[in-house]
Structure 1
């Protein structure tokens, strides 16, 4: 389980004895990641600019945010592991990872299984098409076209179910990197997801794709935590506030997305609350 990393098993045992000696009205403090001495954090490993495996090293905005939060918690022993969109809840709930920082949009359904810190960034859904495609200027232009989304993502469903747009075909791929391959090959007409994700792929190959840059939703990127860990959520929110106040967030956004046309959000996001 996720609380396997608590500091000092011996100290914990002594603490349990001490609790037994306290008056009956005293309550034992619940397990929390703030008591951890190491963390396993799930991040993306196939999304340029956010989380990408480069010669065995994970790099990107989400990776840097994960490391910043861990440092704010005072935890130096941090293992970053690649995770797909479809695996995020499963690996967090099972305890395979302690935290998820992986373009993890906060939704009411996910809140039933996961406690979210943040958001640490509010992205907006947009569209990426091939460079020569000049007939798609907004989401309504996807009517009658094929759209790809990554497994475990809700992006394309916001177009079909949310906006009632009748796309020709909705393809689902294991990851968004596969969607981008299909877009490049011509087997799909568009990829629609968060603009940070699209901007990262565009920066890698600006001559092959065009960023529509006409957003139509807000996507609140949360830090996934074990359900009910309020103390960790509050600590994460403090870390995110500091990250914006000390200029780190803006510096990281500029580093990873500054060469694109993306208009990044520079202010501290409004937090969802930890209760």
Structure 2
């Protein structure tokens, strides 16, 4: 056999080997014995890091419950603090295996991240100072200073989608926005009601919720792009969490005193493909 007759079979073998190597590089979270989970560190009742370095909140408890249902012990879960702007980056670079951080599922984000869930459907609302009487609805934000945390799309829902001429004030995070609201540097903070409720619980005398929700915010659990098997396993864990009453217990623990209309039925999943 001449050398050139070996070229095609050899090329086929090399192609198979290359593909096998590529497949082995795609690591599913199901193969992991420990998990690094990205959470917020500055959102009361959702993801808050204490002085001792520990994390507490609804998202933290959801993350721990899902990890256990995936077969990972709580002591093998490491929480990684991140901001809204860092969620895609941390998943893409492998700094975290999951993100449970008030992570609304959007078409743009789905091009970079595979989403399990949603594990809860929140609603965008508005937080104002307690003495504020002129802001009763999202339309009343016309001309007012509206604060948005970096990496969020909440202000876009008001200014671009609804054409309301609010004056955008940007901050590194929503905790920074709430501080600006308290100091009179912003007139309103508008984002998911669970986020706002957590800040409200910190100081009911300083703030109040407008209580006029106007969007659905489907909180997903971010997994690495194309990790479909891992995503499907997380979806099963979320379903079990609702069916055995764990989700309702966690929601009432963290938000039962806020006056929010808490939904305790399993949300309709987006699908992992």
1:98-117 deviation digits (Å, cap 9, x = unpaired): 11000001011111110000
2:50 pairs with 1:58? no
Residue of structure 1 equivalent to 2:30: 34
Per the TM alignment, residue 216 of structure 1 is displaced from its structure 2 partner at its CA by 0.3
Query: What is the distance in 2 between the residues matched to 1:218 and 1:79?
Result: 30
Query: What is the distance in 1 between the residues matched to 2:196 and 2:185?
Result: 18
1:158-188 deviation digits (Å, cap 9, x = unpaired): 1000100011x20111010000000001110
SS at match of 1:237: helix
Query: What is the distance in 1 between the residues matched to 2:26 and 2:183?
Result: 52
2:93 pairs with 1:97? no
Per the TM alignment, residue 81 of structure 1 is displaced from its structure 2 partner at its CA by 1.2
Residue of structure 2 equivalent to 1:75: 72
Residue of structure 2 equivalent to 1:113: 112
Q: Which of 169, 180, 195 is equivalent to 1:197?
A: 195
SS at match of 1:95: coil
2:131 pairs with 1:132? yes
Per the TM alignment, residue 136 of structure 1 is displaced from its structure 2 partner at its CA by 1.0
TM-score by length of 1: 0.88
Per the TM alignment, residue 256 of structure 1 is displaced from its structure 2 partner at its CA by 0.7
Query: What is the distance in 1 between the residues matched to 2:130 and 2:231?
Result: 41
SS at match of 1:221: strand
SS at match of 2:133: coil
Question: Counterparts in 2 of 1:1-275, with a 5 A limit?
Answer: 31-55=27-51, 56-76=53-73, 77-167=76-166, 169-275=167-273
1:85-107 deviation digits (Å, cap 9, x = unpaired): 01000011000111100000101
Query: What is the distance in 2 between the residues matched to 1:30 and 1:86?
Result: 24
Instruction: Return 5+ residue gaps in structure 1 as ranges.
Output: 1-19
Residue of structure 2 equivalent to 1:9: none
Per the TM alignment, residue 31 of structure 1 is displaced from its structure 2 partner at its CA by 3.0
Query: What is the distance in 2 between the residues matched to 1:30 and 1:153?
Result: 29
1:125-163 deviation digits (Å, cap 9, x = unpaired): 000000000111110010111100100000011100010
Query: What is the distance in 1 between the residues matched to 2:263 and 2:174?
Result: 23
Query: What is the distance in 2 between the residues matched to 1:232 and 1:89?
Result: 17
Query: What is the distance in 2 between the residues matched to 1:85 and 1:243?
Result: 25
Residue of structure 2 equivalent to 1:5: none
SS at match of 1:162: coil
1:244-272 deviation digits (Å, cap 9, x = unpaired): 11111111111111111211111110000
TM-score by length of 2: 0.89
1:67-94 deviation digits (Å, cap 9, x = unpaired): 0111010012110111100100001100
Q: Displaced runs of 4+ in structure 1, greater than 4 A? A: 27-30
Instruction: Classify 1:128/1:28 alpha carbon distance in 2 versus 1 (closer, same or farther; 3 Å).
Output: closer
Instruction: Classify 1:143/1:71 alpha carbon distance in 2 versus 1 (closer, same or farther; 3 Å).
Output: same
